[in-house]
Structure 1
């Protein structure tokens, strides 16, 4: 099951086990059970501190649990956790075996103080790059607090449950077998704790309110925000980053192959690297905090950023790097069926539509790439483009047109998402050349129509373009003195990671220049006349 390279790596990791652990398998006679048994045997053979027994009583088969010797298991896998989830398996083995987790000490205390008594089930797909973080967070809670259990369920392996519970987007977390999802989509450990720990938000607001003013406050934690924070901190000035989620849209990006000097990486990995780089400097990172209002500097020379939790941060200069989000269709039914057939990540949710009919909305590069990827999983893809022709690169168009299970409809305006109350059943579009209305029977709709800047909260404070982008000059200066901006939220063309990083650095240097010049007292009038 595991190749020699993986075995060598895993054996080195298992050498860090402090306590013996056991793998408890619940198997049947299926081919997948044979695969799982082979994987578990491989793992058990790599360390004398790992044992395997096959007398598990779990109702899901094949599945297995990980437990410390002599303790009841609290971490369960109804899956063969390879691919994106192999790291999840390794971390579970290490953490159950006593290897300390690499998280802040205050988070460990917070987890251990939770009341517990909850069992989480996370439905995933092995191709999803957002799922591992959610499963790893819930597993860690179960390791540190005996009042919790965490089960990972591979939707492709347990299709009957996927159908019964209407799982049409991953990761999707259920709690205590309830039908309503506890959370859905990429969710960090801190976000989960915020939902579990009543009063955490108020405590955080009090701490933020008490913070001393910054020299540079960066709003946003994507590539632009991270670069701005690093460049500011390297100047030795007091720097803070406040972000709704550190990493920004990069977290939702799979393959990245155009970041110069990095031949290939994935969005979540890059997001972790960005945060780790920022943490190399004395930067206050305030994650999971949504900015709601920007107040220009008053007589005290301090601008204010008011947060959704009621706290207010003050700074001598501000860099706005709030990025962008997926553009929505804004048609009837889209919000009602979001996560129930309407999806925005083909890599994450595509496997849930195996053998079904789906549509992709958008004929740019992202839309055509999504259609190509989905065509290898689903029974049929219909790509719908508003314009009279596709806008994707010709090489992508040629590939798409060569696929036998793809239809392309141009000059089409998607008008409505239809469903049966629980899931998508189709969509209605208008032929823009004839105004005729058409209906497509579908199981899923993947929206790939570009980005919207995250600037709604800035209306009335800084100048915005008709598209809602922050207007900046060549130095990243906005319409307000001391307020700079960078990245996908601005009018700078070409929304690319490498461009956002450069713009973040530039905005930070401009902010530092502004601080130097504004700290120099103005010369008396007589001296100015002589000069």
Structure 2
């Protein structure tokens, strides 16, 4: 299962284990059980503190639990945690084995103090880059609090279970048998949902903060760069982000970030956050901006957060990025995560052997169709324009695939379903106005991005598309308020451009501070 290099790396990690670990496997005679058995035997051979038992009786086969002998940890993997989930397995081994978490002492105490019974189940796919955050967070909670139990389930391997629960997007999290959440969730976010009083306590802390010299709203590449450049000037810097990393967290392969030949979105997002933490920056995560308020009599800008708290600053940098653009047709919202999806890498494995459509003929749409073609039975790519807009090399690859059909000059008009999940799509031929229906089980929307500026309407100047209008220095129409990244009018929405724009806006904000604070 593990090559020599991976074994060497894993053995080095397992040297950090300080307490005995007991792996209890539930297996049968199937090929996947044999595969898992081989993996677990290899892991056990790498540390004298790990023992493997093969007498598990769990109903999900193959699966295995991690525990300390005579311990109270309830942590289980149903499936073979390779791919993106191999890191989750390594972290689980370390944490069950006594290696401390990097979570803050305050958060660890909050988790340990949760009262009640919390039985979590997470459905993941091995190709999902969003799933490990959820799996790792819930695994850690199971290690820290005996009231928390967690099983991570490979949806592609337990297809019957996925079908019966109608899981059509990952990660999907169930708590005590009921849906708890879908999509990426970090440890802080999960704990905040369980600890209902935490939001009010956090709002009180934010209200008590002194004014910042530079307050960055958004934690994507632009926001991270802005924070670093501001902090390096020695001025009081804060970052308020709904989720640190932003849209990058939903990006799979990144091969055009200069000097980094290849990486993945979540890895880059982690690197950005770790870089920001090297400086004296007040990072306020899970904080969504709600309104940009008029400046105070003292000239301080105010940003009201969704929690009700208000942050004050001498200058503000808006870097709230963008989100997936929706089709805005009947049925889309009703069947979101029930057949309508936006991440082919995450949710594609759940549609194995089924019929799907991809909406959008740009690079992202064609890449999605190519990826899905290797998983599903049939892909129909639907493009509004009379021709695809993707790069020629991608189009050649697309047209070489036998299970892909391309329909151009088509306007999607409705998502069809049976009340529980998607079962079709209606579109209009733009050349003849004829209406057509496609029978299918999944729809992947890949039609670009929308700037996250709904909360700014009526304050800073926006284009009809909702982008913040900025000048060459990132200055908005409000003195002291700057903007950077995908949320602005700067063309070409690329990570490397967002980083540069964030740095530029930060330097411009510092220049503004110098000029406005200088004596007359």
Class of the TM-score when normalised by the shorter of the 2 chains: over 0.9
Equivalent residue number for residue 412 of structure 2:
414
**Does the 8 A contact of 1:387 with 1:410 survive in 2?**
yes
Equivalences for 1:248-327 in 2 at 5 Å?
Answer: 248-327=246-325
Matches of 1:468 and 1:379 in 2, distance apart? 38
**Does the 8 A contact of 2:203 with 2:307 survive in 1?**
yes
Quick one: which of 436, 439, 442 aligns to 1:441?
A: 439
CA shift for structure 1 position 103? 1.1
**Does the 8 A contact of 2:425 with 2:439 survive in 1?**
yes
2:429 pairs with 1:398: no
**Does the 8 A contact of 2:25 with 2:64 survive in 1?**
yes
Deviations 1:387-440 (CA, angstroms, capped at 9, x unpaired) = 111110111111111111111101111000011111100010011111111000
Equivalent residue number for residue 527 of structure 1:
none
CA shift for structure 1 position 247? 0.4
Give the TM-score taking structure 2 as reference length: 0.99
**Does the 8 A contact of 1:211 with 1:313 survive in 2?**
yes
CA shift for structure 1 position 72? 4.2
2:10 pairs with 1:5: no
Equivalent residue number for residue 99 of structure 1:
99
Matches of 1:72 and 1:296 in 2, distance apart? 53
Give the TM-score taking structure 1 as reference length: 0.97
CA RMSD of superposed structures (Å): 0.8
CA shift for structure 1 position 295? 1.7
**Does the 8 A contact of 2:296 with 2:302 survive in 1?**
no
**Does the 8 A contact of 1:372 with 1:400 survive in 2?**
yes
Secondary structure in 1 matching 2:296:
coil
Equivalent residue number for residue 137 of structure 1:
137
**Does the 8 A contact of 1:327 with 1:451 survive in 2?**
yes
Equivalent residue number for residue 494 of structure 1:
492
Matches of 2:158 and 2:72 in 1, distance apart? 24
Equivalences for 1:446-465 in 2 at 5 Å?
Answer: 446-465=444-463
Equivalent residue number for residue 236 of structure 2:
238
Matches of 1:76 and 1:302 in 2, distance apart? 51
CA shift for structure 1 position 116? 3.6
**Does the 8 A contact of 1:354 with 1:377 survive in 2?**
yes
**Does the 8 A contact of 1:27 with 1:62 survive in 2?**
yes
Equivalent residue number for residue 423 of structure 2:
425
2:39 pairs with 1:39: yes
Matches of 1:208 and 1:327 in 2, distance apart? 31
Equivalent residue number for residue 525 of structure 1:
none
Deviations 1:429-466 (CA, angstroms, capped at 9, x unpaired) = 01111111100001000000000000010000010011
**Does the 8 A contact of 1:116 with 1:145 survive in 2?**
no
Matches of 2:251 and 2:230 in 1, distance apart? 27
Deviations 1:253-297 (CA, angstroms, capped at 9, x unpaired) = 010000000001100000000001101111000010110110232
Equivalent residue number for residue 200 of structure 2:
202
Secondary structure in 1 matching 2:35:
helix
Equivalent residue number for residue 71 of structure 1:
71
Matches of 1:413 and 1:356 in 2, distance apart? 23
Secondary structure in 2 matching 1:215:
strand
Matches of 2:394 and 2:97 in 1, distance apart? 47
Equivalent residue number for residue 528 of structure 1:
none
CA shift for structure 1 position 83? 1.2
Equivalent residue number for residue 125 of structure 1:
125
Structure showing greater radius of gyration is: 1
Matches of 1:59 and 1:404 in 2, distance apart? 39
Deviations 1:283-323 (CA, angstroms, capped at 9, x unpaired) = 00001011011023232010000011110000000000000
**Does the 8 A contact of 1:296 with 1:480 survive in 2?**
no
Deviations 1:165-203 (CA, angstroms, capped at 9, x unpaired) = 00111010111223xx20101111111011100100000
2:21 pairs with 1:29: no
CA shift for structure 1 position 73? 4.3
